[in-house]
Amino acid sequence: MVPQSPATRRPRVALYARVSTLRDQNPQMQLEGLRALAEQRGWEIVGEYVDTGYSGSKDRRPQLDALMQRVHRGGINIVAVWRFDRFARSVRHLVMALDEFRSRGIDFVSLNDNIDTSTSTGRFTYAVIAAVSELEREVIRERTRAGLDSARRRGARIGRPPVRIDLNEAHRLIAAGASVRRAALSLKCGASTLARALKGEAPAPEPSPDAPPASP
């Protein structure tokens, strides 16, 4: 068989499907629709990735992870899904994935969302989604800044409260043979926090038994 030249080689597509439960849903419906699309468009299917029993909000899904690993290895021109909510857990996740695909020259097709980044209309749709995602992030940042500014004006302390460490007790524990980590555990603080405190401050002197009592 004569190998196809790059000019005549069919685009290679990876299909992804997901269902939350096998009891109420069947991934075959999604796969059949995607296979029909591949046949219609003349794509060569090089992999089918199906996650069953996984919610769309899950950060990690075995077959989605496998698909992304295949994307990183190369040899794929297109990733096709039934609907983008089967693939991405959020608009932000979708935009990040599409940015990854675009950087690798891979098109993304969502059969029921009219998203096809190989067409001008699909690229426009992606640009709108990316813009909405960026607007959402900017609104969240502005609300966060406004909330912090309001809290500061009310005199609220921003950030974690300072850790109070009994340095005298820390030095006593270390002098008795405890490691910094063990002393930090006894004092209920982090080892690195204790190490910084020991480096920056000396322990308060113990009162001498012959010293006169302090004036009231």
Put residue 114 in one of left, alpha, beta given phi > 0 → left and psi -120 to 50 → alpha. Answer: left
pLDDT at 38 over 80: yes
pTM of the complete model beyond 0.75: no
- Report the first-to-last Cα separation within the chain, whole angstroms: 102
In this prediction, residues 46-54 reach a mean pLDDT of 90
What pLDDT sits at residue 206?
Answer: 45
Task: Report residue 77 as tokens.
Answer: 């021109």
What pLDDT sits at residue 42?
Answer: 94
Q: CA-to-CA distance for 168 and 204, rounded, in angstroms?
A: 6
**What band does 71 get if pLDDT is binned at 50, 70 and 90?**
very high
pLDDT at 203 over 80: no
Sign of CA dihedral 149, 154, 160, 164: positive
Q: Which of 15-19, 104-108, 146-150, 166-170 has the lowest mean pLDDT?
A: 146-150
20, 118, 133, 186: which is the annotated catalytic residue? Answer: 20
Tell me whether residue 103 is one of the annotated catalytic residues: no
The answer to whether 109 and 34 have CB atoms below 8 angstroms apart is no
Q: CA-to-CA distance for 190 and 198, rounded, in angstroms?
A: 12
Q: Residue ranges of the alpha helices (H) in 112-157? A: 120-153
